[in-house]
Amino acid sequence: MADIEAYLDDFGKVVVSVSRRYYSGKTGNFYLSDSNGEVYTCLVRGHEDRQDSVMYELSIPADLSFGISYELHEKYGKIVPLQIRYIVHTKYFDELFTYTGNDLGATYHPGYTDFVLWAPTAVSVVLCVSLRKKKTYQEMRRTDCGVYRARIAGDLKYATYTYLINRNGVIVKSADPYALSSTANGKESAVIDLDEIRKIRDLPASKVLSDPVDAVIYEANVRDLTSNPLTGTMYNGKYLSLTESDTAYADLPTGLDYLSSLGITHLQLMPVGDYATVDELNPERGYNWGYDPVSWLVPEGSYSTDPDDPYSRMRELRKMVSTLHGRGIRVVFDVVFNHVYDTEGNPLELTVPYYYYRYSDNWYRSNGSYCGNDIESRKPMTKKLFRKVISTWMELYGADGFRFDLMGILDVDTVNELYALAKSIKPDALMYGEGWNMPTALPHEDKAMIENMGKMPGIGHFNDVFRDVLKGQTSDDGKYFTGYLTGNTAMAFDACSALAGHCRHNPYFWRFDDPEKSINAIETHDNLTVWDKMHFCCKEEPRDIRQLRQKMLIACTMFAQGIPFLHAGVEFCASKEEESNSYCAGDAINRMDWERLKLNQKVYEYTKKCIALRRSEPLFRLRSAQDIEMKTRFSVNDGVIIYDLETMDHACKVIINATYEQKYYEYGDLFKIQFDEEGNAHSEFIYDVTVKPHTVVVLKKEKWDEKNHS
């Protein structure tokens, strides 16, 4: 702490912190001077004695101009810069400086490039442009709403740039928060000719998804999908690896062909926005999932073939998404809007200090994300940046939806605005996230969390109750607890609620007013894999029983109401060697294990059949909570769930036998087995069925069956 620090915290209010090292903190006779030679009287409104300092509150003129520097003088001769601080969180500041234009960033033209930066608390900004190893400096012009502008003549297609920003008494170098790309590790922002990116073939329009519950989401990491040398791709771990076809290991598909083989509708990619903790020039020396964002608009460079070429990462990401679209797979981008990695060094803080972060009523930085900072999603210019990210990922790269990390940090209004924007670009866009109730400095009623799902039509939430009921608790201290499908058949009634997507009322547990809001996952990138959890909660069971449990979990995910979600590898009993948080554990732990796929090929084949049945059977994709109330029935007998679904046209009966005993059922109606313990359909009509232990069987009856049979 310096001897004296002075902060502009409101219009007409300065707070001064004086260290007790400096005259025991006792001083006075304060006044301000500005860079134009003007002097302003400061009146001491009060002071507060603290352990290490004395805090003075000063009253000053409320109409100080922005864009010029101020210094505070005190009676012993110390002169310190006046730092613009919490005033940026006042309503009047927003009224003065919220910018509604759409030209922030660098806009390229063949004969010139416009640079536009929002930095209302800055005194001056100098633009530094680098082109062909030559640097050019130009002071930018301050305009309305605290926006700085400069126009540089010439063709800057391959130029890079930074800003030198004079604010709060220091000059800092910053990248552009609105830059579309950068050199390696975000060292410099890049001017981009978007026509060069759009030379990648147009992203094909696919058939509109009729309803969100028609989706089958598969979560994976770009690097993990092909980093295993056995994948057989040329560009292992890169965007381009997912544009390569005809790759296989042991006669089973890998990479892009593997994704196509599953029958999924959506691939959710873990963050592809620029993140901090992998050296893009030496990615093999580090590993991270990417939940440590630096720039939300810049694609991550470690997944590109040339991270120091700003165009490379953009072209290759666009080509990857286009190729996936060509295979009928939509792409969901995982975005981390709740925090940034380096609080002080991020371009957000460098350009407008204090503005983008959330604070408590006592002006402590909110830490509901447990990352040292929460983004203040309610601020107008934060929302503006979010909108730019959403529209850019969709319009430039073809994103079909978004998964929000720790969505409960964000506010309801902002999430709704972003969803409306996404739907205006693609009517079938998906948007969902982790709707946990995080301890962020936001009123309970404003958090974008599950408890407020009624305020967010169309927004999905990861259903942790679905997960914990079927699989058992997923936390480290809960890894020994079983769920219905891992041994605790006493939870059968709870499992009925889960299979209904928690959309049925009493006597069931009601949680969602629409099935599209329930994202049903037994495993995500967090915590132990299902297989590893069973090492603890089912450790006494032989491998073949645990494999049957894995299959039951996958089947129930696919046949439950709501939106099914699979994490990469669950379909072949993936293990991370019992690592419960593998975000930086390296390739050997996280990559797709193609040898394990061969070992558990039957589970993989079973998963494909589960997906195919869900996509072909409308009864597993009921469109509304009302439909679920009317068309589903559940009964429990000796630990077995009978899950009946019926419409005017046909009926399905799902028998889930999570017990150790074989079960026999006889019915008065004729059925066909639509899905047996191996996922196969039978052609013959039956009146009775035997269900083996730890298996799921689906029976189907159509109205014309009996007539046709007779």
Contact indicator for 378, 413 with CB cutoff of 8 Å: yes
| One-letter identity of residue 75 | K
- Work out the angle between the directed axes of helices 601-616 and 255-262 (0-180°, nearest 10): 50
Give the helix/strand (H/E) hosting 531.
Answer: helix 530-537
d(CA 318, CA 299) in angstroms, rounded, equals: 10
Cβ-proximal residues to 91 (8 Å cutoff; 6+ apart), any chain: none
Q: Which residues of the chain have pLDDT under 70?
A: 205, 703-710
- Considering the candidates 219, 300, 405, 411, report the single residue annotated as catalytic: 405
Residue 678 a catalytic site member: no
pLDDT of residue 710: 46
Instruction: Tell me the β-bridge partners of 33.
Output: 39, 71
pLDDT of residue 401: 98
| 107-144 residue pLDDT tens | 999 999 999 999 999 999 999 999 999 999 999 999 99
Cα-flanking dihedrals φ and ψ of residue 496, to 5°?
Answer: -60, -45
d(CA 275, CA 263) in angstroms, rounded, equals: 30
SS3 190: strand
Stated pTM of the model: 0.96
Number of CB atoms found within 10 A of residue 132's CB:
6
Tokens of 533: 């959890």
pLDDT of residue 704: 59
pLDDT of residue 206: 73
For 58-124, the three-class secondary structure string (H helix, E strand, C coil) is: EECCCCCCCCCCEEEECCCCCEEEEEECHHHHCHHHHHHHCCCCCCCEEEEECCEEEEEEECCCCCE
pLDDT of residue 31: 98
List, in order of start, the domains of the chain with CATH numbers: 4-84 (2.60.40.2320), 97-174 (2.60.40.10), 629-709 (2.60.40.1180)
pLDDT of residue 702: 78
Number of CB atoms found within 10 A of residue 31's CB:
15
| 163-177 residue pLDDT tens | 999 999 999 999 999
Contact indicator for 72, 60 with CB cutoff of 8 Å: no
Q: How do the residues of the chain divide into helix, strand and coil, expressed in percent and rounded to 5?
A: 30, 30, 40
Contact indicator for 570, 554 with CB cutoff of 8 Å: yes
d(CA 472, CA 498) in angstroms, rounded, equals: 13
- Considering the candidates 300, 334, 434, 514, report the single residue annotated as catalytic: 434
Residue 661 a catalytic site member: no
pLDDT of residue 708: 53
